[in-house]
Amino acid sequence: RALRDPHRPRFHFTSPGGWLNDPNGLSQWDGVYHLFYQYNPLAPAHHRIHWGHATSTDLVHWTDEPVALVPGTDGPDRDGCWSGVLVDDGGVPTLVYSGRHGEHELPCLARGSADLKYWTKDRANPVITAPPEGVDITAFRDHCVWREGSGEDVVWRQLVGSGIRGAGGTAFLYESDDLRTWRYVGPLLTGDASQNRGELDWTGTMWECVDLFRLGEDGEASGTDVLVFSAWDEGTTHHPLYWTGRYEGDTFTPTALHRLDYGGRYFYAPQSTRDDLGRRIMFGWLQEGRTDEANAQAGWCGVMSLPRAVTLDANGNLIQAPVPELGLLRKDHLQVAAGPLTSPYTQLHRVRGDQLDIETTLRLAPGATARLVVRETPDGAERTVVEVSRAHDGTVGTLRLHRENSSLDPTVDTEPRYGGLPLGDDGRVDLRVLIDHSALEVFANGRPLTARLYPTRPDEAVGVGIGADGDVTLERFDAWQMASAFPDGPRPLWP
Ligand code: FRU
């Protein structure tokens, strides 16, 4: 076992060892942030999933807590405690999750101790004993639960992720007075799996991890409703998408469908919560891009994204940005002088590293391209390129990640990634790039692109460079080395 795996991130949350997938039960309780996650402590493989648990007061430094949910020796969750949420049931922390037994996944409850460390499963589990009758479904799991109404008319509402065979992904809506007895209301929204305009925004045959929330200028009372889901089909995790629209009564009326992260499956199954500062905070799961054998060797796999604050722009698109608290880890500030970028490529000898936070503002003339190279070996044999370009006509652009040369290891995924980049009339791009060993998160004008990189010479792949074709001005370039979020540097593997 590689006890010091050079690909293990140091300021992204990872599990102490074994397997990690979706964020679960995301919440702030008495001022403390709680991050639960899909976890197999026994091996880096997706099998008999537990709920891991970590807490933080600043969203940056995390403390491991006891494993929250363990699959039963018998009963509805004997094959795994799958994704779900944490709700406040009159002061009692309560988890709603998918209990798995055989091929069945059904909603279950667990009540927590006041410190949220110890959980007791409800005797009545599963609290919904079967998917809706008479509907041919593709799957039925994952939960979004909230309290709605006022005065006497307060009810719990729940969405369960699903899909209707022959139609498409679906969020089923349920209602309850006590979280224990649920009435089926109907499908809140169903996608269209036959519509496959482009691979990149196909809505799939099943929606995993549905998450519904309202965003608006005026608190969250008025505003736009956002329905996030991860498109899934026949065992394949495709990508996260979101609908914007209006949730009213028992339906969601969509206005537009958007890609949530241009990294596709590298930012999967996100979940969000509203924190005490009124922010919508989102985490997603960064899947691995190396083989199962490589994961087994490493002894760990799966990375939690950095926490993102999510807001809306004037056109109804989500704007995503890492929370400002990450600044706590910044050290060794370096700047590059502003001015026109006249060369196709220049190495920045002072900016180097595999734990970096880079913020730059670029101005692109029509037809111009700017690139930021990261994780480059001195001979350039391994390098990863973040590229932003502006079309010849108008205000549209493209954000691209070239990973073709990110690794000489032929077994790791090096597929490029790309997506649309909104540009103002002035061609301005605010680019933020966070590098944390194998984890890479890019934000260009609020559009994220998340991916993984596994250079074969990780200790040498620390070079950074910039360059341009066409008329590009560098308006600012700031970089910081990032400290480890774990006390001893690398996150130790247990036991
Ligand atoms: C999404 C997902 C969920 C499920 C969980 C199982 O990645 O497949 O639908 O609840 O992971 O670990």
Q: Ligand 1: does its nearest atom lie under 6 Å from the Cβ of 82?
A: yes
Whether residue 487 is predicted with pLDDT greater than 90 in this model: the reply is: no
Mean pLDDT, the chain, rounded, equals 95
> Is 49 a pocket residue for ligand 1 (Cβ < 6 Å)?
yes
Q: Does 269 sit in the ligand 1 pocket, CB within 6 Å?
A: yes
Is the ipTM, as predicted for this complex, more than 0.85? yes
- CATH code for the structural domain at 326-482: 2.60.120.560
Task: Using the mean position of ligand 1's atoms as its centre, give its distance from the Cα of residue 209 in Å.
Answer: 7
- The confidence band for 152, taking pLDDT boundaries of 50, 70 and 90, is confident
For residue 250, indicate whether it is catalytic.
no
Q: What global pTM score does this model have?
A: 0.97
Question: Is the CB of 209 within 6 Å of ligand 1?
Answer: yes
Instruction: Assign 2 a pLDDT band (cuts: 50, 70, 90).
Output: very low
Kindly state the average pLDDT of the residues 176-205. 93
The larger pLDDT score, comparing residue 82 to residue 487, is at 82
pLDDT of residue 424: 86
CA distance 128 to 132: 9
pLDDT band at 1 (very low <50, low <70, confident <90, very high): very low
- Confidence at residue 195, expressed as pLDDT on a 0 to 100 scale: 81
What average pLDDT score do residues 187-216 get? 92
pLDDT digits (tens, 9 = 90+) for 79-99: 999 999 999 999 999 999 999
* For ligand 1, mutation pick of 46, 140, 141, 266 (most atoms within 8 Å of CB): 141
Paired sense of beta strands 280-286 and 63-64, if any:
unpaired
The pLDDT value given to residue 160: 98
| pLDDT-derived band at 395, boundaries 50, 70, 90 | confident
Compute, in angstroms, the gap from residue 82 CA to the centroid of ligand 1: 6
- Determine the number of helices (DSSP H) and then strands (DSSP E) in the chain: 1, 35
Average pLDDT over residues 414-434: 96
Rounded to the nearest whole angstrom, what is the distance from the C-alpha of residue 166 to the centroid of ligand 1?
A: 22
Question: What pLDDT is stored for residue 409 in this prediction?
Answer: 98
- Express each pLDDT in 136-146 by its tens digit: 999 999 999 99
- Fold held by 18-322: Tachylectin-2; Chain A (2.115.10)
Question: Residues 223-276: pLDDT tens digits?
Answer: 899 999 999 999 999 999 999 999 999 999 999 999 999 999 999 999 999 999
DSSP 286-311: E---S-HHHHHHHTEE-EEPPPEEEE
The tokens describing 403, both together, are 């990973």
Q: Measured from the CB, is residue 160 less than 6 Å from ligand 1?
A: no
Centroid of ligand 1 to alpha carbon of 434 (angstroms) = 26
Residue 467: pLDDT band (50, 70, 90) is: very high
pLDDT computed for residue 221 by the predictor:
57
Sequence ranges of the domains in the chain: 18-322, 326-482
Which ligand 1 atom sits closest to the C-alpha of 209?
9
The rounded distance, in Å, linking the Cα atoms of 463 and 450 is 20
Index of the ligand 1 atom closest to the CA of residue 161: 9
343 pLDDT above the threshold of 70: yes
Burial class from Cβ neighbours inside 10 Å (0-12, 13-18, 19+) for residue 316 reads middle
Residue 97 structure tokens: 């999750």
Tokens for 390, please give them: 């502006």
Q: Is the CB of 158 under 6 A from ligand 1?
A: no
Q: How far is the CA of 16 from the centre of ligand 1 (A)?
A: 20
Per-residue pLDDT at 394:
79
